[in-house]
Chain A
Amino acid sequence: MSVRVSDEMTKVRARAKRRLAIKRALTYLTAIVLSLWILLPIWLIASMALTTPEAMRSFPKSVLPFIPFSFDTMRFFLEARGIVPGLINSVVVALITLALSTLIAAPAGYALSRYVFRGRNAFRLSILAVRAFPVVILSIPLAVTFINLGMFDKVSSLALMHTALTLPTTVLVIGSVFASIPYELEEAAQVFGCTAFQAFRRVVLPLVLPGIAAAALFTFVMSWNEVFAATVLTVQNRTLPAQVLVSLREAPDAYKFAGGFFMLIPSVIFIMIIRKYLFNMWGQSSK
């Protein structure tokens, strides 16, 4: 009797186990298919960019990439007119944006996470709303204003504009980074004899620094990627995406694909660095 029951039990159990295994396998399959969907295009553009221009023009292409492996296409792109200055401008704009945006956003983020004050919600909601606003709206009037003020076509003006774009996101991210550090830690430090500033400097700052660095990095990438305002606000001092965009029509394929790959690299590296903070960045819009 007892043997029969346990027999039945094992059968049921085995069936349940099998079903679970199949489910698991299917989930893995979905995960892998989705990963391929994301990774394959990157793989393909990499194999376009990291080969000779002749191989790049050949048809049909082998999906096996890098045959022959060569930096010729990339070199062709980097030696094209305006690319190196554009690269320098892009980095300068992104660095100014990063510095300005972090400096202005950090106090606001701290205030949002540490204080309850009248108007806090209104401030937070307006920041949430502003984050979504298209850069297209701001670029045209700012271009007109910059022309009138003699600030047009300057790297610094573009950085001012980019700071306006990144600021809302940076405020929210830094706010959520501060919010993840319990206030009790600060209090405890003060109980043990730290001043408020010391408590901030010695206890909170070391804990939030990685998160703020991630936010700053995200700011950098947003500025690095931004193309509409960059194209509208500059003529001579183009950033890299703006330079690529305006020469896209006449550019040979080698220039195009190498350029696309070159602009894509930072984002891949960036995501790998900050994957821990992804949810601080976008996931909090519901809370």
Chain B
Amino acid sequence: MSIQPLRIPRRRTKVQWAPYLLITPALLYLLVFFAWPMTQAIRLAVWDEQGLLSLRAAPGEENEAGALEQGAKISVLDRRNVPLAPGEADGGPALLDVWFFVEGETPGGATVQGWAPESRVRVRETDPSGLPLRGTVRPRLGSATGQHTTVYAFPDERSDVVGELASRAEVGIAQRTSLEVWFLIEGAHNEKRVSGWAPSRRLQIYGDGATGRVDSGDTGRFTLLHIQRMLNDRFFRSALGTTFLLMLLIIPVQLVLAIVMALVIQARLKFNLLFLAIFAIPLAASDLAVGIVWSSIFTQNGYLNSILYSLGLIESPQAYLTAATRHWILIAVWIAEVWRATSLVMVIVVSGLQAISQEVLEAAELFGATLWQRVRFVILPLLKPSLQVALILRTILALQVFAVVIALGGGDVVTVLANETYRQYYALRNMNTAAAYSGLILLLSMISAGIYLRTVRGQEEAVS
């Protein structure tokens, strides 16, 4: 038996597919329902779907001859009829021209076949589906062009004349066609004159028939209009200001309160788990319910007035949540939000505290540090990463304060960004401005999230 030389197998770096397969559904879902809507929000905010009308080189053709902005003033140079493809007339009410292919007798007695406009033929007989079969030529009263009705080779008054029909002559109708009127228009775009053909459904032609405006475009373009509209919105400043004011009021109080709660939990009292559960109740409470809970306290017949009245501090119930007492609404929202969202900070801080080694805390106590000294010089510095995370998470969440504000103030006197998004969408039906508002919230959140991610990553480097 010979000894085989020992062969060291080359390490193969095999790609593991299992984890990728496992995260694929979640990843796909988040792409479809998170990433995509976010890009759509931005698109809605800065993209004008009907911003530009592209002009054609010839009626009904695709070749572009330039573009005009929506609302641009135009002058009409010419008009032409273009056959309408089925289902094409979207975008606006099209100016239609209907023509009949008729067969009838000329004044001379010969038979003629050709196209005549609908306005020249009175339909006398239709088939069950409503298509015209027979009719008579309308008499032309007092017309300078003569008594007869011209018949053309094509459904267009510019095409060759094939003959004439006597007035009141009976005709058979073989075919009907709808044509859309296209206009050769001229207007100014970027201070240059452009001209080209455009369908009537995109245009609004004034009564004189020679001037008009671009009613709707068919091409999208970048626009700052929606953002401008948001900035000029009468609630915008107040909403932005209140959102930031609430952030400034809420977050410091929350941090302090959460640290106190966490220290209490850390003291390992009896019923520790019960206290923890009680402190955590608001974590699962709906913001709308919390708003209503606090409105039961601040309402005119509510508990605050009842207590103050019983103590003899006020003579009659005060109204807090009215338009005249804006500051009281703010205070109520402030207290309600502190009540609601402190739990989240508390849980983060508690788990941060648990990561601090117990010996460090005990050593500080052993060397006679007072509670304040321990908090200030030992706990807070060690807790800094958790506090940063909590802080930034809270900042992002503070941008979505919504239902509490509605429940406590109705949403008019005191308003926040989320509420304005809702107002633009729901009351004003203005999706684009609503999207501009949500884009603003997205931007503010991204800034916070960027800091948040950097903090988390920094922490992980510190841990490992």
Residues of A bordering B, CB below 8 Å: 24, 27-28, 30-31, 34-35, 37-39, 41-42, 44-45, 48, 57-63, 103-105, 107-108, 110-112, 114-115, 117, 120, 123, 125-130, 132-145, 160-161, 163-164, 167-168, 171, 218, 221, 224-228, 231-232, 241, 244-245, 248-249, 253, 256-257, 259-261, 263-264, 266-268, 270-272, 275, 278-279, 281-287
* Chain A residues whose CB sits within 8 angstroms of the CB of B40 once the complex forms: 141-142, 144-145
B287 within 8 A of A: yes
Q: Are A132 and B296 in contact (CB under 8 A)?
A: no
B77 within 8 A of A: no
Q: Are A111 and B397 in contact (CB under 8 A)?
A: no
B210 within 8 A of A: no
Q: Are B435 and A257 in contact (CB under 8 A)?
A: no
B72 within 8 A of A: no
B139 within 8 A of A: no
Query: CB-nearest residue of chain B relative to A41?
Result: B293
B396 within 8 A of A: yes
A108 to B27, CA, bound (A): 9
A141-B284 contact, Cβ under 8 Å, with A111-B18, A125-B456: no
Report whether over half of chain A's contact residues are helix, strand or loop; otherwise say mixed: helix
Q: Given A138-B41, A267-B289, list of 5 further CB < 8 A pairs?
A: A27-B269, A41-B297, A63-B307, A107-B21, A260-B293
Q: Are B284 and A221 in contact (CB under 8 A)?
A: yes
Query: CB-nearest residue of chain B relative to A120?
Result: B19
B136 within 8 A of A: no
**The residue from B29, B33, B292 contacting A138, defined by CB atoms under 8 A apart:** B33
CB distance from A280 to the nearest CB of B (A): 10
**Interface 0/1 of B279-320, CB less than 8 Å to A:** 111111111111111111101011101110110000001000
A2 to B111, CA, bound (A): 146
A5 to B407, CA, bound (A): 67
Query: CB-nearest residue of chain A relative to B284?
Result: A267
* Chain A residues whose CB sits within 8 angstroms of the CB of B286 once the complex forms: 224-227, 241, 263-264, 267
A and B contact pairs by CB, cutoff 8 A, 9 listed: A24-B269, A103-B25, A123-B27, A132-B445, A136-B399, A141-B38, A164-B33, A256-B295, A271-B281
Q: Are A142 and B37 in contact (CB under 8 A)?
A: yes
* Chain A residues whose CB sits within 8 angstroms of the CB of B402 once the complex forms: 136, 227-228
Residues of B bordering A, CB below 8 Å: 16, 18-23, 25-27, 29-30, 33-34, 37-38, 40-41, 43-44, 257, 260-261, 264, 267, 269, 273, 275-297, 299, 301-303, 305-307, 309-310, 317, 339, 344, 347-348, 350-352, 355, 385-386, 389, 392-393, 396-397, 399-400, 402-403, 406-407, 410, 417-418, 421-422, 425-426, 431, 434-435, 437-439, 441-442, 445, 448-449, 452-453, 456-457, 459-460, 463
Q: Are A282 and B456 in contact (CB under 8 A)?
A: no
**The residue from A108, A272, A283 contacting B277, defined by CB atoms under 8 A apart:** A272
A121 to B279, CA, bound (A): 32
* Chain A residues whose CB sits within 8 angstroms of the CB of B33 once the complex forms: 138, 142, 160-161, 163-164
CB distance from B425 to the nearest CB of A (A): 6
CB distance from B120 to the nearest CB of A (A): 43
**The residue from B269, B279, B299, B453 contacting A28, defined by CB atoms under 8 A apart:** B269
CB distance from A128 to the nearest CB of B (A): 6
